[in-house]
Amino acid sequence: MTRRNFSVDDANAAKSWPFAEARSLIKRLDRMASTDRPVVFQTGYGPSGPPHIGTFGEVVRTTMVRRAFELLTGRATKLICYSDDMDGMRKVPPHLPNRDLLEPHLQKPLTCVPNPFDTEHPSFAHHNNAALRAFLDQFGFNYDFYSATEQYQSGAFDATMKKILSNYDAVMDIILPTLGEERRATYSPILPISPTTGRVLYVPLLEFDAASGMIVFDDEDGTRRESDVLGGRAKLQWKADWAGRWVALGVDYEMSGEDLTESVRLSSRIVRALGETPPAGFNYQLFLDEEGKKISKTKGNGISIEEWLTYASPESLALFMFQNPKAAKKLYFDIIPKTVDDYWSHIGKYPDQDNGKAIDNPAWHIHEGEPPVTAPPVSYAMVLTLVSAIGDADPTLIRGFIRKYRPEASDNELATTDSMIDHAKAYFDRFIAPTKSFRSPSTEERAALEHLSAAFRALGDDASEDDYQTATFSAGKAQDFDNIRDWFKGLYQVVFGQSEGPRMGPFAKIYGANATADMIDAALKRD
């Protein structure tokens, strides 16, 4: 890692989006009373399922804004990763084991639902919360974990609950117009917890006293109950809950998906009705699949984070999250190799950039100002092509080819290719090998390939990659292809069994001109 010193002037001149977001947060704080408390960033998590690629995206993007803010201001910060584990379980997810164990506990807070997994955790939510923390720790995020159940029961929400009661009519006036007629009849922003069944009750409040926090409601069996909203004996309903969390925890910044745009507006109105200032933040766009449709966990048309990490590094995924967060982007497997190579390109540029450009380099944001100094001597795309051509992902064998191609590469640089080789082998096995389809060459293609094979043998293994690239173009031009792209497409389909392939100059240099000629000759004999 390399640490460079960046000044506040560097940060003020930075143009990348995390700095723009940090400046919007500074404007918000300037409008508020001065305080010495840490500035609070927050991300939310629903523990009814495991963390996913969107969880990573929200935390890594928020962390990028947090670091930009710290450089701009020098102020202390904290990142809260908040689990909504006091929500009632509305249905039993179909993928869970021991579903019969869970059915009797519908509508109970997730921390009161039995753990269906073979783990030591006392509840369904505790199991998933542990998974969230392990997930975040895997990537080295700096955060404070907050459980909604613990926050409510500790009294952290008590003052806010009373404030909601004090402004009950104003809150209702904000929320009711967004509901259907039937829902409006029974809606309450405060949900009591039944003292008899432990379930979260979606019932109206019949009476309440804001000063004491006392409420009156009908329990599930029709019995009229008097309780209070303190210490976790009640919780806030969704949009009021989000607003209440912002107020109770003093949240200064939170981003969310564009599907929650209206919820952000409504929650912000509730915060203002309580006499507080909503947090800064923005709505990022959701991911699209290869066909441009929104990714859905239910449909299974996206990439899981486990899949991405099978084929590429977490840093490359962080780059994908950094790029254009306010624009809808396609998230599918074809973008992985290019994203990996783009990541390493940014790492390679960083040492030679002045501070003005380096601070806007994605590498600065991905690595919190300390990007690695060692980069691999070849691209992911080239390693992928080598794996495809050789049919063997033995790191020793491929590193031998790379050493020949980049004799000046250090041992550390070569070592960075080991994980890349593993990723490329997995990617090849999943996406390339099953789709390989060799075809016979046309008369023109056969003549051009014979020409190219002879040219490579004549050049030998010690020529430059430019010489090999020129020879490839010359072989196609000698056959008068109307479009030279047709020549390359035919070359890739006949020799590699793919519609796209490597730049032949670098490939012949790394694989060997004579070995490449052998590949061409074998392809010509295949039919």
pLDDT of residue 73: 95
- As for how many domains the chain has, the answer is 2
CA 30 to chain centre: 31
- Is 163 domain-assigned? yes
Query: Which of 467, 444, 473, 461 is CA-nearest to residue 518?
Result: 461
Q: How many CB atoms lie within 10 A of CB 520?
A: 23
pLDDT of residue 296: 64
Q: What is the pTM of this model?
A: 0.92
Alpha-carbon distance of 459 to 451, in angstroms, equals: 12
pLDDT digits (tens, 9 = 90+) for 283-303: 999 888 777 777 765 556 678
Query: Which of 258, 165, 268 is CA-nearest to residue 214?
Result: 165
The CATH number of whichever domain residue 245 belongs to comes to 3.40.50.620
- Is 47 domain-assigned? yes
- Is 273 domain-assigned? yes
The CATH number of whichever domain residue 513 belongs to comes to 1.10.10.350
Q: Which amino acid is at 42?
A: Q
pLDDT of residue 95: 85
Q: Which of 251, 284, 317 is the last residue of a domain?
A: 284
* Structural domain that includes position 522: 436-526
pLDDT of residue 289: 77
From the first residue on, what is the mean pLDDT of each consecutive set of 10 residues in the chain (527 residues)? 83 97 95 83 92 94 98 96 96 90 96 96 96 96 98 98 98 96 93 97 97 97 97 95 98 96 97 97 88 67 87 97 92 93 96 96 96 93 88 80 89 91 93 91 96 97 96 95 94 92 91 94 89
Alpha-carbon distance of 472 to 503, in angstroms, equals: 9
Q: Which of 284, 312, 341 is the last residue of a domain?
A: 284
CA 240 to chain centre: 27
- Is 12 domain-assigned? yes
Q: What is the mean pLDDT of the chain?
A: 93
Q: Which of 256, 284, 312 is the last residue of a domain?
A: 284
- Is 164 domain-assigned? yes
- Is 401 domain-assigned? no
pLDDT of residue 163: 98
- Is 328 domain-assigned? no
CA 115 to chain centre: 27
- Is 385 domain-assigned? no
CA 82 to chain centre: 17
